[in-house]
Chains A and B, each alone.
Chain A
Amino acid sequence: MRYSALSLVRQGLAGQTGWPQAWRSPSPRSVYDAVIVGGGGHGLATAYYLAKNHPRRRIAVLEKGWLGGGNTGRNTTIVRSNYFFPESAAIYDFALRLYEGLSQDLDYNIMLSQRGILMMGHSEHDMELMTRSVNAMLLNGIDVELLDAAQVRAEVPLLNFEPGARYEIHGGFTQRRGGIARHDAVAWGYARAASALGVDIIQGCEVTGFDIVDGRVAGVRTGLGRIAAGSVGLCAAGHSGVLAGMAGFTLPIQSYALQAMVSEPVKPVLDTVVMSAATGMYVSQSDKGELVFGAGLDLYPSYAQRGNLPVERDVIAGMLEMFPAFRRLKLLRAWAGLVDVCWDYSPIIGPAPVGGMYLNCGWGTGGFKAIPAGGWMLAHLLATGRHHPISAPFDLGRFTSGRLIDEAAGAGIAH
């Protein structure tokens, strides 16, 4: 069914009894041309673009839990493409451009809100480095704009401009096309559109191993039995290393817990996304009115989807330093996602050391904003066996050649 004003009226008159299921839940077949492991945003986007851009293939997405139940449902929903290096700007802006047309493309409202994203500068040195970053981003074709302190104050009057503030505000820069989107809707929209194109989405199906013959993947062993596969795409974020272990290789990735939290809902007080490298934190206000915020990693390896109190305390302290008015809000929920962090804070997209197997991982703390691009690139690899020009610099081989894309500092945020 196509979602439209007309379908709303019709269903309203029919007592909302005629809505079909958004996606099918089939049993797995015994063989597919392409099997995608991981039913989060990246895996579902991969399935959608593979079915749409490279048709006539039998495609399955295997998800061990439920759709979007991992990092897709645990992030702070920020989208942006304000990156320092040309390779990064190319892939993240490709993603943002796809996000800009995604609601129409999927016929599913992902509630993209391009409310802008403001990065704070807290000293003259910050502003000098920020000017350099902004110039690099402008050369990359990204719509960023340097702001002085008065302009920042006009845009976000709630920020702490008191004379005794720990982090004095000297200015900042904004990307107006940045903003937030509804994270669950991105997963559900891709799932619905992929299912309509014939993709089998199989939830509750954990991969337990791979059948590898003569260095080439032949199939996937799962809790629901063996599935033969012509090619396999891995989109498992924090669990990428576990899948790599099953296939007999290692990755330059360490998995950490990244915390996020929301306050109780309040009336509209913040109409942009605010980030600060000094406090490491970022905050936006959801459509429901909750303040959604987070900051740095719990800096030790973790597969627990929860963080610890010292980091939570620092995140909250950072936000209250920037927004003293929020200090009496109650915390509603806190949680963590498992992020797969590479040494250069850039993703890995490309062939795995096993034939027929392809990687889309290492997005670390920034995977949500990249979902459409990650899916598009992995679909291209699964269909052709070759890199899309945009994904080529992110090949696993960069760790041997030394051509790292070091966004750890370049991106200008605390990852």
Chain B
Amino acid sequence: MLRLPCPYCGERDEPEFRFAGEPAVRPGSDVGDAVWAAYLYMRSNEKGPHREVWSHAGGCGQFFLLERDTVSHAVLRALRPGEAS
């Protein structure tokens, strides 16, 4: 079972959390279909260290950034939104 460090609550069990996608910046409305398709659907899907957004859905409900290894499942670090990346 994963144990994830919520930056607000501390380390908790996997079932309290929900994976919410890869971090992405919403493009403007005038950029065309290809850029929007990339934002909506394309994913880095990295093997190894991976930047992710998670929600502590069954706890404080906050979203946070997590760097996690997708092969070993080791947690590298967790950040609040806006903290230095």
A residues neighboring B (CB under 8 Å): 239, 241-242, 245, 250-255, 299-304, 308-310, 343, 399-402
Report whether B43 and A303 are in contact in the complex, using a CB–CB cutoff of 8 Å. no
Closest to B19 in A: A300
Closest to B50 in A: A301
B33 CB contacts on chain A under 8 angstroms: 400-402
Report whether A251 and B1 are in contact in the complex, using a CB–CB cutoff of 8 Å. no
Report whether B41 and A301 are in contact in the complex, using a CB–CB cutoff of 8 Å. no
A310 to B18, CA, bound (A): 13
Report whether A308 and B14 are in contact in the complex, using a CB–CB cutoff of 8 Å. yes
A251-B42, A310-B15 as given contacts; A239 in contact with B47, CB under 8 Å? yes
B45 CB contacts on chain A under 8 angstroms: 241, 250-251, 253-255, 301
B15 CB contacts on chain A under 8 angstroms: 310
Chain B: how many interface residues by the 8 Å CB criterion? 27
A251 CB contacts on chain B under 8 angstroms: 42-43, 45
Report whether B43 and A299 are in contact in the complex, using a CB–CB cutoff of 8 Å. no
A299-B18, A310-B15, A400-B33 as given contacts; A250 in contact with B70, CB under 8 Å? no
A250 to B42, CA, bound (A): 6
Report whether B37 and A400 are in contact in the complex, using a CB–CB cutoff of 8 Å. yes
A304 CB contacts on chain B under 8 angstroms: 70-73
Report whether B1 and A301 are in contact in the complex, using a CB–CB cutoff of 8 Å. no
5 pairs, CB–CB < 8 Å, chain A vs chain B: A251-B45, A302-B70, A303-B48, A303-B71, A304-B72
B73 CB contacts on chain A under 8 angstroms: 302, 304
A343 CB contacts on chain B under 8 angstroms: 40-41
Report whether B1 and A310 are in contact in the complex, using a CB–CB cutoff of 8 Å. yes
B residues neighboring A (CB under 8 Å): 1-2, 13-15, 18-19, 33-34, 37-38, 40-48, 50, 52, 54, 70-73
Closest Cβ of chain A to B8, distance in Å, is 19
A303 CB contacts on chain B under 8 angstroms: 47-48, 70-71
A308 to B14, CA, bound (A): 9
Instruction: Indicate which residue in A254, A308, A309, A401 contacts B43 across the interface (CB closer than 8 Å).
Output: A254
B72 CB contacts on chain A under 8 angstroms: 304
Report whether A301 and B37 are in contact in the complex, using a CB–CB cutoff of 8 Å. no
Closest to A302 in B: B70
Closest Cβ of chain A to B25, distance in Å, is 15
Q: How many A-B residue pairs have CB under 8 A?
A: 68
Report whether A310 and B70 are in contact in the complex, using a CB–CB cutoff of 8 Å. no
| Contacts beyond the supplied A241-B44, A300-B2, A399-B37: 16 A-B pairs with Cβ under 8 Å | A239-B47, A241-B46, A245-B46, A251-B42, A255-B45, A255-B47, A255-B70, A303-B47, A303-B70, A304-B71, A304-B72, A308-B1, A310-B14, A399-B41, A400-B33, A402-B33
A301 CB contacts on chain B under 8 angstroms: 19, 45, 50, 52, 70
A402 CB contacts on chain B under 8 angstroms: 33
- Shortest Cβ-Cβ A-B pairs, 3 listed: A241-B45, A252-B41, A300-B19
A222 to B47, CA, bound (A): 18
B41 CB contacts on chain A under 8 angstroms: 252, 343, 399
Closest Cβ of chain A to B66, distance in Å, is 9
B42 CB contacts on chain A under 8 angstroms: 250-252, 399
Instruction: Indicate which residue in B2, B47, B52 contacts A308 across the interface (CB closer than 8 Å).
Output: B2
Most chain A C-beta atoms within 10 Å of own C-beta, residue among B15, B50, B73: B73
B14 CB contacts on chain A under 8 angstroms: 308, 310
Instruction: Indicate which residue in A255, A299, A308, A309 contacts B19 across the interface (CB closer than 8 Å).
Output: A299
B1 CB contacts on chain A under 8 angstroms: 308-310
Instruction: Indicate which residue in B13, B34, B44 contacts A250 across the interface (CB closer than 8 Å).
Output: B44
Closest Cβ of chain A to B65, distance in Å, is 14
A302 to B38, CA, bound (A): 21
A242 to B43, CA, bound (A): 11
A242 CB contacts on chain B under 8 angstroms: 47
A250 to B33, CA, bound (A): 16
A260 to B13, CA, bound (A): 22
B44 CB contacts on chain A under 8 angstroms: 241, 245, 250
Closest to A239 in B: B47
Most chain A C-beta atoms within 10 Å of own C-beta, residue among B13, B15, B18, B45: B45
Closest Cβ of chain A to B75, distance in Å, is 12
Most chain B C-beta atoms within 10 Å of own C-beta, residue among A239, A242, A301: A301
Closest to B73 in A: A304
A401 CB contacts on chain B under 8 angstroms: 33
A400 to B72, CA, bound (A): 33
Closest to B33 in A: A400
Closest Cβ of chain B to A350, distance in Å, is 15
A308 to B54, CA, bound (A): 17
Closest Cβ of chain B to A410, distance in Å, is 18
